Amino acid sequence: MSAKGKKIVEVENLSVGYGNNLVLKDINFTVNTGDIFGILGDSGAGKSTLLKHMIGLYNPFSGDVKIFGESIVNCAEYEKNKLMRSFGVTYQGGALLGSMTVGENIALPIETYTDLNKTDILKRIKEKLALVDLVGTEDVMPSELSGGMKKRAGLARALALNPSLLFFDEPSAGLDPITSVELDELLSRLRDQFNTTIVIVTHELASIFGITDTIIMLSKDAKTMVAEGDPKELREKSTSPWVHDFLNRQEHNKAKQNIKYETGDFL
Amino acid sequence: MQKTLKPNPFVDMVDKIGGAADTIGRDFYFFVCFLGLLLKATKDIIRHPGKLRIKDMLYYMDLCGSQAVPIVLCICYLMGVILGFQFALQAQKVGAEIYVADGVGFSILKELGPFMVAIISTGRAGSAFAAEIGTMKVNEEISALQTMGFSPVGFLVVPKLLAMLLTMPILIVFGDFAGLLGGFTVGVTMMDLTPVAYIDRTFEVLLPSTLTMGVLKGLVFATIISLVGCMRGFQSTSDAQGVGRSTTSAVVTSIFLVVVADAILTRLYTMWGY
Q: What is the ipTM of this complex?
A: 0.82
Is the pLDDT confidence value at A252 over 60?
no
Give me the pLDDT at residue B2, please.
59
The residue ranking higher by pLDDT, B8 or B132, is: B132
Question: What percentage of chain A carries pLDDT values higher than 90?
Answer: 48
pTM for the structure as a whole: 0.84
Contact A147, A93 (CB under 8 A): yes
What number of other Cβ atoms are within 10 A of residue B12's Cβ?
10
The pLDDT-based confidence of A218 (bands split at 50, 70, 90) is very high
| CB proximity list for A102: less than 8 A, separation 6 or greater | A96, A129, A134, A137, A138, A139, A140, A141, A142, A145, A153, A156
DSSP track, A43-55: TTSSHHHHHHHHT
Is the pLDDT confidence value at B3 over 70?
no
Cα nearest neighbour of B140 on chain A: A95
Please compute the mean of the pLDDT values over residues B32-37 and round it to a whole number.
92
The pLDDT-based confidence of B5 (bands split at 50, 70, 90) is low
> Is the sign of the CA dihedral A243, A17, A90, A159 positive or negative?
negative
| CB proximity list for A258: less than 8 A, separation 6 or greater | none
DSSP state of B2: P
Please compute the mean of the pLDDT values over residues B45-69 and round it to a whole number.
91
Taking the CA atoms of chain A, what radius of gyration do you get in angstroms? 19
The pLDDT-based confidence of B82 (bands split at 50, 70, 90) is very high
B144 at A interface, C-beta within 8 A: yes
| CB proximity list for B57: less than 8 A, separation 6 or greater | B159, B162, B163
Give me the pLDDT at residue A36, please.
93
Give the span between the Cα atoms of A46 and A48, in whole angstroms: 6
Among A46, A48, A74, which Cα is nearest to A167's? A48
Mean confidence (pLDDT) of chain B: 92
| Sheet of A36-41, strands arranged across | A88-90, A165-169, A197-201, A36-41, A214-219, A224-229
The pLDDT-based confidence of A205 (bands split at 50, 70, 90) is confident
Give the span between the Cα atoms of A94 and A85, in whole angstroms: 17
Is the pLDDT confidence value at B66 over 70?
yes
Give me the pLDDT at residue B11, please.
87
Is the pLDDT confidence value at A175 over 80?
no
The pLDDT-based confidence of A249 (bands split at 50, 70, 90) is low
Count Cβ neighbours within 10 Å for each residue of A244-253 and write b for 16 or more, e otherwise.
bebbeeeeee
Give me the pLDDT at residue A267, please.
33
DSSP track, A219-245: ETTTTEEEEEE-HHHHHHH---HHHHH
Is the pLDDT confidence value at B12 over 50?
yes
Give me the pLDDT at residue B10, please.
87
Please compute the mean of the pLDDT values over residues B115-126 and round it to a whole number.
95
Give me the pLDDT at residue A183, please.
85
> Is the sign of the CA dihedral B48, B51, B56, B60 positive or negative?
negative
At A219, give phi and psi (nearest 5°). -120, 135
Among A182, A206, A181, A186, which Cα is nearest to A198's? A186
Give me the pLDDT at residue B197, please.
92
Give the span between the Cα atoms of B266 and A44, in whole angstroms: 54
Give the span between the Cα atoms of B86 and B75, in whole angstroms: 17
Q: A57 and B147 in contact by Cβ < 8 A? A: yes
Give me the pLDDT at residue B4, please.
65
Cα nearest neighbour of B51 on chain A: A112
Give me the pLDDT at residue A260, please.
43
Give me the pLDDT at residue A112, please.
87
Give the span between the Cα atoms of B130 and B253, in whole angstroms: 12
Mean confidence (pLDDT) of chain A: 86
Is the pLDDT confidence value at A254 over 70?
no
The pLDDT-based confidence of A170 (bands split at 50, 70, 90) is confident
Give me the pLDDT at residue B246, please.
94
Please compute the mean of the pLDDT values over residues B112-121 and round it to a whole number.
96
The pLDDT-based confidence of A6 (bands split at 50, 70, 90) is confident
Contact A16, A8 (CB under 8 A): no
Interface test with B, best of A51, A58, A89 (most B CBs within 10 A): A89
Is the pLDDT confidence value at A259 over 80?
no
Give me the pLDDT at residue A4, please.
55
pLDDT per residue as tens digits for the range A117-141: 999 999 999 999 998 889 999 999 9
Give the span between the Cα atoms of A7 and B190, in whole angstroms: 85
List chain A residues with CB under 8 Å of B143: 52, 57, 89, 91, 95
Q: A52 and B143 in contact by Cβ < 8 A? A: yes
pLDDT per residue as tens digits for the range B138-151: 999 999 999 998 88
Burial class of A222 by CB neighbour count within 10 A (0 to 12, 13 to 18, 19+): middle
Q: Compute the nearest-CA separation of B150 from chain A (Å).
A: 8
Judged by DSSP in three states, B42 sits in helix
Among A24, A94, A10, A93, which Cα is nearest to A54's? A10
Interface test with B, best of A51, A81, A170 (most B CBs within 10 A): A81
Give me the pLDDT at residue A156, please.
92
Cα nearest neighbour of B135 on chain A: A98
pLDDT per residue as tens digits for the range B215-240: 999 999 999 999 999 999 999 988 88
Count Cβ neighbours within 10 Å for each residue of A18-43 and write b for 16 or more, e otherwise.
eeeeebbbebebbbbbbbbbbbbbee
Give the span between the Cα atoms of A247 and A78, in whole angstroms: 41
| CB proximity list for B270: less than 8 A, separation 6 or greater | none
Contact B115, B216 (CB under 8 A): no
Interface test with B, best of A92, A112, A151 (most B CBs within 10 A): A112
Is the pLDDT confidence value at A210 over 80?
yes
Give me the pLDDT at residue B27, please.
87
Contact B129, B247 (CB under 8 A): no
Give me the pLDDT at residue A163, please.
92
